Structure 1
Amino acid sequence: MAVTRNIPVDGMALAGEHGLPVVAIIPKTFRNDSGVTEQSHTQDGTPQFTVQTLYTPSNGSKAELLDVTVAATQQPNIPLLSAVRFEALTCSLWQMGNRSGLAFSASSVQPANLTRKAGD
């Protein structure tokens, strides 16, 4: 049985004032019961995409790829290496049998230079 828990993530604290650079945007896929790879969809049928970003910790630790799932009717059109911000970013802790991990998702993604700052 899968166990999940969603935790809100402060996107500004994670991405800093400049946002996270995009490395790739690809359809999120899974292998169905027949072994065929298909694109994932939300329960209402909206296609899901993986926005792969480069997270560089402020403490100087090594950079890591951070995959964030975003649902959108069309693949987000953001140039590679552009800085982005995520709306309603959450982290899901999951466990299935002996396996566990983190999965990030957001309601939307947009270029960081289009994001309004608080008070604007």
Structure 2
Amino acid sequence: MNTAISTEKAPAAIGPYSQAIQAEGKTIYVSGQLPVDPATGAFAGEDIQSQTRQSLENIKAILATAGADMSSVVKTTVLLKNIADFGAMNEIYAQYFQQPFPARAAFQVGALPKDALVEIECVAVI
């Protein structure tokens, strides 16, 4: 359903993401997900890897409710409290996606709600 768009006339992806994705079907816009464990209402952990995993698990649960899964994701935006956490975040992020990887933007922001280390939003197509 999703087709990776890639050209040598632009920089190659340097991680688990595609330069672009051509998508067909119905679009799902998932709001930014903080690393809140729905069972406890608290952050899943204090480190970037635990928080990244929980944010992605939250996205996974929302997509499942819509009849989609992580392979339906065509675009993500990763907001980081500290860009130095990028590598550790990326290790967990890579476990949730397969080729063709979604297009992605990741950047540091001034602050996140509840002082989270990460917030992730996505667009999916089914």
Q: TM-score of the superposition, structure 2-length normalised?
A: 0.26
Comparing both structures, which one devotes a greater share of its residues to strand? 1
Comparing both structures, which one devotes a greater share of its residues to helix? 2
**Larger CA Rg, structure 1 vs 2:** 1
Q: TM-score of the superposition, structure 1-length normalised?
A: 0.26
Which structure has the higher relative contact order (CA within 8 Å, separation 6+)? 2
